[in-house]
Structure 1
Amino acid sequence: MFEFDPTRPKWHQIAEVVRRRIERGEYPARHLVSEVQLENEFGVTRTTVRKATAALREEGLITTTPGMGSFVSERAADQNSD
Structure 2
Amino acid sequence: MDDLDPTRPKWPQIAETLAERITGGQWKPARKITVPEIMAEFGVSKVTAGKVTAELRKRRLVRTEFGMGSFVTELEARGEQ
TM-score range, shorter chain: 0.7 to 0.9
Contact kept in structure 1, 2:30 and 2:72, CA below 8 Å? yes
Tell me the equivalent position of 2:74. Answer: 74
Name the aligned partner's letter for residue 28 of structure 1. Answer: K
- Which contiguous aligned blocks of 4+ residues in structure 1 show a shift greater than 2 angstroms? 75-79
Asked whether the equivalents of residues 63 and 73 of structure 1 are also in contact (C-alpha less than 8 Å), the reply is: yes
Q: Give me the whole-angstrom Cα distance separating, in 1, the residues matched to 2:22 and 2:59.
A: 12
Output the amino acid matched with 1:74: E
Aligned residues: 80
Verify the 8 A CA contact 2:33 2:70 in the aligned structure 1: yes
Please give the root-mean-square deviation of Cα atoms over the aligned residues, in Å. Answer: 1.7
Instruction: Say yes or no: does 1:30 pair with 2:30.
Output: yes
- What 5-or-longer segments of structure 2 have no aligned partner? none
- What percent identity do the matched residue pairs reach? 44
Which protein has greater RCO, CA pairs closer than 8 Å, 6+ apart? 1
Which amino acid in 2 is paired with 1:62?
A: V
TM-score normalised by structure 1 residue count: 0.87
Q: Which runs of 5+ in 1 are unaligned?
A: none
The answer (yes or no) to whether the contact 2:60–2:78 under 8 Å persists in 1 is: no
TM-score by length of 2: 0.88
